[in-house]
Structure 1
């Protein structure tokens, strides 16, 4: 799970609200993962890698590094899209095939 702390605050109110909502949505996906999904551990590792990458970029973004900000934004949106379209979709197919959703 991702902890939305000061390292993720951009001080752009609307952006921070959206990021807070995104983090909450991502964190809420953790609970349904307890259905015997065989790739659960690798799924969790993917989330951990994402969290680590964002935390690594956070200090640069906080200092106003525009390149780091663009990189963080690009990485986050790319990760989110690919994660939903590939990783989460596989989870959904697994759950649906077993009548769990």
Structure 2
């Protein structure tokens, strides 16, 4: 069973960003499943690295759209993304140092971030980006 199932309440109503959010959710569920099934440390580390790398690309994309659309909440949103990046970088470094148990904390952090950040902060840019001709 998946840790989190996609629900419409997670939609930010920006098709390309919803697609990326869905992929992030899939990656989180893959990581959770691997840990729950006791998969190898190498696989868990690989999944963590892939999820962190994908998150970074996603955040860059989201930030670029907000900049191009002159989103008024950009400054605060960037601060939140920076806090997220610092936190996951710390998890990634700790995992490299063989602190396997931190992966559980990472899953919890990702889950909370996914639900809370997307459902509150990301939804704030929805109208702005959809009304913007950014392409």
TM-score by length of 1: 0.69
Rounded to whole Å, the distance in 1 between the matches of 2:46 and 2:113 is 21
RMSD: 2.4
Count residues in correspondence: 90
Rounded to whole Å, the distance in 1 between the matches of 2:54 and 2:93 is 21
* Kept in 2: contact 1:57–1:68 (CA 8 A): yes
Query: Would the alpha carbon gap of residues 30 and 11 (structure 1) be closer, same or farther in structure 2, given more than 3 Å must change?
Result: farther
Q: 1:24 aligns with which of 57, 77, 91?
A: 57
| Greater length-normalized contact order (CA 8 Å, ≥ 6 residues apart) | 2
TM-score by length of 2: 0.54
- Show structure 1 runs of 5+ residues with no match: 1-9
* Kept in 1: contact 2:94–2:102 (CA 8 A): yes
Q: Which moved more, 1:52-61 or 1:35-44?
A: 52-61
Q: Does 1:93 align with 2:127?
A: yes
Alignment partner, residue 82 of structure 1: 116
* Kept in 2: contact 1:60–1:69 (CA 8 A): no
